[in-house]
A = this chain, B = another copy of it.
Amino acid sequence: MQATQENPSADAVRHTVNIELGDRSYPIVIGAGLLGHAQTYAGLPKAHAAMVVTNSTVAPLYADAVCAALSALYPHVGRVVLPDGEAHKDWTTLNLIFDALLSGASDRKTVLFALGGGVVGDMTGFAAACYMRGVPFVQLPTTLLSQVDSSVGGKTAINHPLGKNMIGAFYQPQRVVCDLDSLKTLPTRELSAGLAEVIKYGPIADMVFFDWIEAHLPALLAREPAALAHAVRRSCEIKAHVVGQDEREGGLRAILNFGHTFGHAIEAGMGYGAWLHGEAVGCGMVMAAHLSQRLGLVDEAFVARLTRLVQAAGLPVRGPALGADRYIELMGHDKKAEGGEIRFVVIDGPGRASMRPAPDALVREVLARCCD
């Protein structure tokens, strides 16, 4: 699928970023006016049935349009509406998808469509990975966070009471469709949460992009289409480059988790859903930057600059008062822990990240410095 402009109602801007993974390669299509057009879905696997998985917030906005467009390609188009929110990213909710599939007209070729944010995408992807040992699925991310991060790269999962994303699969979608129009209806708090993952790509990979975000933050917060289009495109390019080199997170891919070890502890410690994932990651990046500074990898000016940008994006920069012991306990459950040692993504000089363990005392210093 090449960048095209055949849809007269769409903005002139349409980009395609390809994820190169051999026979699991797929395109990320970025543009406006995409969700409701049958052309958007041309060339996907043929099947007797399609199933749109969405949530109670997104369904009233886009589900009818998507189902209508899919009806041109699939004889049966079903839908299942999940409760909204990270708190529902569990087996009980996942089973609603299986129930709908097994009660309906589905078979082992049925194509699933994940219409919504990161939670819908993660759950639909995991359902597709497991249903009859694997059916095709398509990501239709409707939040900034899912467009720039979670819908891309094939990580799918549900949460376990003892840890976030502990049960899941690496399972690549057939296509990702980022309709920029869907960002118009996004609550401000979720726009900010998405910006956390956009900002992330600067320190770990591209300080020119970081400069650009600093300069264009007002435009992004004002949802100017050209600014959002560039932010989504560049984020997807960086993620595609990283995932193309390390699909299953044997090494490099872990840098995408900058801010996530602290962030996951905040999310789990506060109870899933109290903090948005992007909020926890924003705050977690500030904490990870402080840790990098204490390890002698970046200077105070860099930490201050990152902190200012995170704060200006509308995100928290101070962690909740969980207590250092609880933070460390929660981080020990994180998937990045190995052999009992907690490993952190640190900034190895602006624009470059790496993973390493950190002395307990330094981590406690950071927690004391960054938490209420």
Interface residues of A, Cβ cutoff 8 Å to B: 48, 91, 95, 98-99, 102-103, 105, 107-109, 129-134, 155-157, 160, 162-163, 165-170, 248-249, 333, 335, 337-340
Complex alpha-carbon distance, A169 and B125, angstroms: 13
Decide: B155 and A133 in contact? CB cutoff 8 A. Answer: yes
The residues of B that contact A166 with a CB separation of less than 8 Å are 98, 102, 131-132
**Contact between B162 and A103 (Cβ–Cβ < 8 Å)?**
yes
Given A102-B163, A160-B102: A169 and B134 interface contact (C-beta under 8 Å): yes
A168–B130 CA distance with the chains assembled, in angstroms: 5
A102 to B163, CA, bound (A): 8
Give which listed residue, B130, B249, B338, contacts A109 with CB less than 8 A: B338
Give chain B residues whose Cβ lies under 8 Å from the Cβ of A102: 160, 162-163, 166, 333
Cβ contact within 8 Å between A107 and B163: no
Say yes or no: B133 contacts A340, CB within 8 Å. no
Q: What residues on B are CB-neighbors of A130 within 8 Å?
A: 130, 167-169
Q: What's the minimum C-beta distance from A174 to chain B, rounded to whole angstroms?
A: 16
Contact across chains for B98 and A338 when beta carbons are under 8 A apart: no
CB<8 Å pairs between A and B, sample of 10: A48-B339, A91-B91, A98-B160, A98-B166, A103-B162, A105-B340, A107-B337, A133-B169, A133-B335, A134-B170
Inter-chain CA distance A65–B248, complex, in Å, is 34
Using A91-B95, A102-B160, A155-B133 as known contacts, say yes or no to A48 and B340 having CB atoms under 8 A apart.
yes
Return chain B residues, CB-CB under 8 Å to A333: 102
Q: Look across to chain B and name the residue whose beta carbon is closest to the beta carbon of A129.
A: B169
Q: Are A169 and B169 in contact (CB under 8 A)?
A: yes
A337 to B106, CA, bound (A): 10
Having A109-B339, A131-B167, A132-B335, one finds 10 other A-B pairs with CB under 8 Å, namely A48-B339, A98-B160, A98-B167, A109-B338, A131-B166, A133-B155, A133-B169, A133-B170, A133-B248, A134-B248
The distance from the CB of A192 to the nearest CB of chain B, in whole angstroms, is 28
Checking B99, B133, B160, B169 against A157 with a beta-carbon cut-off of 8 angstroms, the contacting residue is B133
> In angstroms, how far is the closest chain B Cβ from the Cβ of A131?
7
- Which residues of B have CB within 8 Å of A340? 48, 105, 107
**A338 contacts which of B107, B335, B337 (Cβ < 8 Å)?**
B107
Instruction: Write the nearest CB–CB distance from A128 to chain B, whole angstroms.
Output: 11
Q: Return A1 CB to nearest CB of chain B, in Å.
A: 24
Q: How far is the CA of A107 from the CA of B129 in the complex (A)?
A: 22
Residues of B within 8 Å of A103, CB to CB, are: 162
The 10 lowest CB-CB distance pairs between A and B, nearest first, are A102-B162, A48-B339, A107-B338, A130-B167, A133-B168, A132-B335, A108-B335, A133-B170, A133-B169, A107-B337
Which residues of the partner chain B approach A108 to less than 8 Å between Cβ atoms?
335, 338
Bound together, the chains give a CA A44 to CA B225 distance in angstroms of: 53
Which of chain B's residues has its CB closest to A132's CB?
A: B335
Measured in the bound complex, the distance between the Cα atoms of B160 and A102 in whole Å is 9
A64 to B165, CA, bound (A): 32
Provide the bound-state CA to CA distance between A102 and B268, in Å: 14
Complex alpha-carbon distance, A353 and B333, angstroms: 49
Q: Which residue of the partner chain B has the closest CB to A126? A: B130
User: How far is B155's CA from A142's CA once the two chains are assembled, in angstroms?
Assistant: 34
Instruction: Report the Cα distance A98→B157, complex, angstroms.
Output: 14
**Cβ-closest chain B residue relative to A155:** B133
**CB–CB B133/A339 < 8 A:** no
How distant is the Cα of A306 from the Cα of B48 in the complex, in angstroms? 36
Docked Cα-Cα span, A131 to B165, in Å, equals 9
